[in-house]
Amino acid sequence: MTADVAVEPAVEPAVRSRARQRSGWRVVAHKEVADHVSSARFYVLLLVLGAAAIVPLYFASDAIRSVASQIEDSRNAFLVLFIYSPPDTPIGIPPVFGFIGIVAPLLGVAFAFDAINSERADGTLPRLLSQPIYRDDVINGKFAAGLAVITIVLVAVVGVISGFGIVRLGIIPDPSEVVRLLAWLALSVVWVGLWLAFGLLLSVLIRRAATAALVGFGVWLLIAIFGQLIVGLIAGIVAPVANAATLNEALSLQVLSDTILRFLPLTLYQEASRVLLNPSVTTVSTPATIGQLQQWQQQAEAQVLTFDQSLLLIWPHVVALFAMMAICFGAAYVWFMRQEVRA
């Protein structure tokens, strides 16, 4: 009995110490979230993303109202807010999900390009690592905080758009539309999380925050503005559909061209968003043979997919985006754990 009583006080402090160490990333994440939310960067990016999402609705509100009033079956009318692109504008304005796909990566890069190198430049990283937390708690906490803030911003933007549709246009979503919208919101968080992990990788690899910002925003600009053009040129050289001699050969080359275009993560996000927000989209790839083309045309007539069917259709896109995010974060994690930190 005496031995048992003597052991308990020695075990309990060790358990409490391990529990405190395991929750170290939460402490770092809580501190980073507070810093992000109280920074001017957060509000500027929120305004930029909100304005970018509201612009299509401003130009398309009258057209959306007329389209919604003409639809006999009001199901999925609410999702028109996010997929409608106004045709009668001086410049081509993409739909809401197109704006989110182009502008939202700014959030990921902006919240991560100085996550580690600024701590190193200010001399606070050695003091942070001297606290009773594990070393990986720092990078885990910073990544979790970035994802949390990104989720807050995207939820706010989607809420504003939904409120605009309900109040101004009088379109009420049904439960199936809410489910699709939440799934698209989760997909958007993964999409921006990919850029957050990429920015975190730059912050670990590049010592100067200004250089990391230039590289991050440069890559974003290259993919968002010139990515489709560059990858399209490569696809045109590798799979020249115009030079096909037969229809079967043209279909095969088109499949290869679509595969090359999907190496661009923006293409994956836009295709997956289009399927989630538009139940009438029944395929994301070109049939490879004439028989498959005819079969697809017969099945696609007036067909509306359920949410489960749409999810199965874009599941490879989601896995690919998540894998890219995991690769970028894994590279940043490994490199940070191997770096030497001096006081």
Residue 266: name the closest of 326, 205, 225, 311 by CA.
225
pLDDT at position 181, please?
92
Per-residue pLDDT band for 241 (boundaries 50, 70, 90) equals low
With respect to residue 20, please indicate whether it lies within any of the assigned structural domains. Answer: no
> Helix, strand or coil for residue 58?
helix
CA distance 285 to 304: 17
With respect to residue 19, please indicate whether it lies within any of the assigned structural domains. Answer: no
CA distance 57 to 45: 19
Per-residue pLDDT band for 89 (boundaries 50, 70, 90) equals low
| DSSP alpha helix (H) spans, the chain | 2-22, 24-37, 40-70, 80-83, 96-103, 105-110, 117-122, 125-129, 136-167, 175-205, 209-221, 227-238, 247-261, 265-277, 290-300, 307-338
pLDDT at position 333, please?
93
With respect to residue 16, please indicate whether it lies within any of the assigned structural domains. Answer: no
With respect to residue 111, please indicate whether it lies within any of the assigned structural domains. Answer: yes
pLDDT at position 214, please?
92
- For residues 283 and 313, the answer to whether their CB atoms sit within 8 Å is yes
pLDDT at position 8, please?
43
Please list, in sequence order, all residues whose beta carbon lies within 8 angstroms of the beta carbon of residue 62, skipping any fewer than 6 positions away. none
Q: How many residues does the chain have?
A: 343
pLDDT at position 11, please?
45
pLDDT at position 194, please?
94
CA distance 109 to 102: 13
Read off the pLDDT of each residue in 43-63 and give the average, rounded to a whole number: 75
- For residues 80 and 60, the answer to whether their CB atoms sit within 8 Å is no
Percentage of residues of the chain with pLDDT beyond 70: 71
With respect to residue 206, please indicate whether it lies within any of the assigned structural domains. Answer: yes
Per-residue pLDDT band for 1 (boundaries 50, 70, 90) equals very low
Tokens standing for 310?
Answer: 């749409």
Percentage of residues of the chain with pLDDT beyond 90: 21
With respect to residue 343, please indicate whether it lies within any of the assigned structural domains. Answer: no
With respect to residue 121, please indicate whether it lies within any of the assigned structural domains. Answer: yes
Residue 65 burial (C-beta neighbours within 10 Å; 0-12, 13-18, 19+)? middle
Please list, in sequence order, all residues whose beta carbon lies within 8 angstroms of the beta carbon of residue 143, skipping any fewer than 6 positions away. 112, 196, 197, 200, 329
Choose between 268 and 165: higher pLDDT.
Answer: 268
Highest mean pLDDT among 45-49, 93-97, 194-198, 337-341: 194-198
For 342: left if phi > 0, alpha if psi spans -120 to 50, otherwise beta; the answer is beta
pLDDT at position 70, please?
54
Full domain range(s) for residue 96: 25-338
Residue 58: name the closest of 81, 92, 90 by CA.
81
With respect to residue 13, please indicate whether it lies within any of the assigned structural domains. Answer: no
pTM (2 decimals)?
0.82
**DSSP assignments along 211-232, one per residue:** HHHHHHHHHHHIIIIIHHHHHH
Residue 197: name the closest of 317, 105, 128 by CA.
105
CA distance 271 to 249: 24
Q: How many domains does the chain have?
A: 1
CA distance 141 to 333: 12
